[in-house]
Amino acid sequence: MRRGKFIQEKRLIGKRVYNFELMYKNKKSVRQIAYKNIYLKNKEDYSLPFKKYDIHHKDRDKDNNRTSNLDIVTRDEHEQIHNLGLRGEKELYEYKEISEFFENLHRERKENPPKKRD
């Protein structure tokens, strides 16, 4: 028998609509797990209040709520992760670093083209 309050929320992430269900009293929601086991332990790493963040499942399995499978990310980061087909926050930052490197390299080559050899 289910007890407690049940709330359903639809949220657009990238091009997909996800149904978020806040769990019943006897089962912790993914947000509760992430808040207690990640956010509170690393609060200095987060500049926004917890309610401003999304929780991303690295393996894309919404039933896998182990702390090691969760990332706390902004909504924009969450959309980028899904749109780029990345697994999580770490890959997003690596992707951004690589993209920035190639943008700088391209800009540098445009500003200072290599000299033609005779």
Residue 50 lies in a domain: yes
Please list, in sequence order, all residues whose beta carbon lies within 8 angstroms of the beta carbon of residue 26, skipping any fewer than 6 positions away. 3, 4
**Domain assignment of residue 54, yes or no:** yes
Report if residue 1 sits inside a domain: no
Question: Is residue 118 included in any domain, yes or no?
Answer: no
Q: Percent helix, strand and coil across the chain, each rounded to 5?
A: 45, 20, 35
* Structural domain boundaries, residue 22: 7-111
For residue 117, being part of any structural domain is answered with: no
Q: When comparing pLDDT for 46 and 98, which is higher?
A: 46
Residues 6+ apart with CB under 8 A from 19: 8, 9, 10
3-class state of residue 13 by DSSP:
strand
Confidence (pLDDT) at 3: 45
In a domain, 2, yes or no: no
- Asked if the structure places residue 38 within a domain, the reply is yes
Whether residue 80 is contained in a domain is answered as yes
> Counting Cβ atoms within 10 Å, is residue 82 exposed (0-12), middle (13-18) or buried (19+)?
middle
| Segment holding 97, helix H or strand E | helix 89-111
pTM of the model: 0.60
Q: What is the pLDDT of residues 93-107, one digit of tens each?
A: 788 888 887 787 777
Number of domains making up the chain:
1
DSSP states of 69-84: GEEEEEHHHHHHHHHH
More confident residue, 63 or 117: 63
